[in-house]
Amino acid sequence: MTGAARGIGAATARRLATDGWRLVLVDVCADDAALPYPLGTAEELASTVAACGADRAVAVVGDVRDQEALDGAVATAVDRFGGLTAAVAAAGAIVGGQPLWDTAEDTWSAMIGIVLEGVWRTARAAVPALLAAPEPRHGRFVAVASAAGTLGLPLLGAYVAAKHGVVGLVRSLAAELGSSGVTANAVAPGSTKTHMLAASAAVYNLADPNELARHHLQQRLIQPDEVAAMVAWLCGPESAAVTGAVLAVDGGMTAH
């Protein structure tokens, strides 16, 4: 699983560990000059591993834009745990604040690279291992998309384009996997109480990130554990008939 140091990724790792999964947890554990806020740290990734249990989780430091790192993470899962049953692409980032035509090259590259390319590279590494399982297979590929994957949002053109790309990628992957027994789905959170929320608010010059809750019908922010619950369900056996879906966990943000 990628993006595991904090936020939705860390919450998902903890939930999956509680459900009995054994985990390879990936995070870059370094800042990116194109992003205006600090990213997760090696200490935070270690904390996630500790919360999951050192007997069932292992940390891998790697960038989702680095195919070799992701291939290595999958190899670690196969070597340590005997195979790969599910892959969760949860790494994400956000930056914006300018109209699309004024978007800087490094902003565009960071959003497409981390948000979209990272999901593609995760699939590129993980899907062959999922398909290597003997039939009948029960593999799962889950990507964390966003309400921005179906909405147009001002001043976030690169981020929105990347998240729309994630939705298309997952749907195409589901079509290609077909009756293989491996499913592909996306979870689309609304404004979630993570470190990225302050960066989202800054795009719109909001002093209080909680103001973003007004875009939800429920008039509250989403909690990372709520997103994690949906991801965990999609990884489990009860979601076998669900593939190519984009499931909203957004407090009604996309319902109107």
- What are the DSSP E strand ranges found in the chain? 23-27, 57-61, 86-89, 140-144, 183-189, 246-249
Q: So what's the pLDDT on residue 127?
A: 98
d(CA 191, CA 181): 32
Please list, residue by residue across 76-86, b when 16 or more beta carbons sit within 10 angstroms of its beta carbon and e when fewer do: bbeeeeeebbb
Catalytic residue check, 159: yes
Sheet with 246-249, edge to edge strand ranges? 86-89, 140-144, 183-189, 246-249
Q: Is residue 75 part of a domain?
A: yes
Range of the domain at 96: 7-249
Question: Is pLDDT above 80 for 223?
Answer: yes
Give dist(CA 195, CA 91) in Å, integer: 13
On average, the pLDDT of the chain sits at 98
Pair 72, 83: CB distance under 8 Å: no
Contacts of 55 (CB under 8 A, 6+ apart): none
Per-residue pLDDT reduced to its tens digit, 10-48: 999 999 999 999 999 999 999 999 999 999 999 999 999
Classified as helix, coil or strand, 247 is strand
What's the pLDDT band for 256 if we cut at 50, 70, 90? confident
Q: How many domains does the chain have?
A: 1
Is 153 a member of any domain? yes
Residue range 154-176, pLDDT digits in tens: 999 999 999 999 999 999 999 99
Section 187-206 average pLDDT = 96
Catalytically annotated residue among 120, 141, 159, 233: 159
Q: How far apart are CA 192 and CA 16, in angstroms?
A: 19
Residue 2 inside a domain? The answer is no
User: What's the rounded mean pLDDT across residues 221-227?
Assistant: 98
Q: Is 101 exposed, middle or buried (0-12, 13-18, 19+ CB in 10 A)?
A: exposed
- Alpha helix (H) residue ranges in 53-203: 67-81, 105-110, 118-131, 157-177, 196-203
Q: What is the pLDDT of residue 107?
A: 98
The rounded distance, in Å, linking the Cα atoms of 185 and 123 is 12
In the chain, the amino acid numbered 196 is M
pLDDT tens profile 63-77: 999 999 999 999 999
Phi, psi of 235, deg, nearest 5: -80, -15
Q: Is residue 199 part of a domain?
A: yes
1 part of a folded domain: no
The CATH number of residue 119's host domain is 3.40.50.720
Which tokens sit at 69? 């790192």
Q: Residue 120 has what pLDDT?
A: 98
pLDDT band at 94 (very low <50, low <70, confident <90, very high): very high
In a domain, 23, yes or no: yes
Report yes or no: 46 and 58 within 8 Å, Cβ to Cβ.
no
Residue that has been written with the tokens 């993980």 in this structure: 126
On whether the CB atoms of residues 244 and 103 are closer than 8 A, the answer is: no
For position 122, what pLDDT does the model report?
98
Helices (H), 53-100: 67-81
State the pairing for strand pair 246-249/183-189.
Answer: parallel
For 62, residues 6+ apart whose C-beta sits below 8 A from its C-beta are 26, 27, 28, 69, 70, 72, 73
